Amino acid sequence: MAKAKKATTKKAAAKKAAPAKKATAKKAAPKKAAAPKKAAAKKAAPKAKSARKPNAAFMKALTPSAALAAVVGASPLPRTEVVKKLWAYIKKNNLQDSKNRRNINADAKLKEVFGGKTTVSMFDMTKLVSKHLK
């Protein structure tokens, strides 16, 4: 009989442990109330950020070759401006492929820049143009 009494006391101890868990759950609730203070601190952090600085390599003026100068002009330009002017030329002359918008159909001027290719992907275009910049 002594063994049976020990078994019942263990069960009683297990039942007492369950209410203790509920009590810890109630303690966690006040911690959540403190969370909005952290959010307010995060909003203040982005204001301290400094302005973004451009990469000097992109801003360096490069001289276009004769073939590229026919499209973007002969004056030295940064690489970013060359690409902008090239896209302006493509859109002005409606050279973007109508079915696959990623492709550019070259006209006579662009064919020289693209190395004789009639259709070039917009991702390959910058690689081909970089050969014409010094």
pLDDT (average), residues 18-39: 55
Question: Residue holding tokens 């992907």?
Answer: 121
Domain 57-130: give its CATH superfamily: SWIB/MDM2 domain (1.10.245.10)
Looking at residue 121, its amino acid is: S
pLDDT tens-digit readout, 63-103: 999 999 999 999 999 999 999 999 999 999 999 999 999 99
Distance CA(71)–CA(68), nearest Å, equals 5
- Domain spans of the chain, in order of start: 57-130
Backbone angles phi, psi at 64, to 5 degrees: -75, 155
Per-residue pLDDT, averaged over 31-50, amounts to 56
What is the C-alpha R_g of the chain?
35
pLDDT value at position 11? 57
From CA 87, how far away is CA 93, in angstroms rounded? 10
Mean pLDDT over the full length of the chain: 79
| pTM of the predicted model as reported, rounded to 2 decimal places | 0.58
Give the length of the chain.
134
Among the listed residues 100, 98, 75, 114, the one whose alpha carbon sits nearest the alpha carbon of residue 85: 75
117 φ/ψ angles, rounded to the nearest 5 degrees: -80, 140
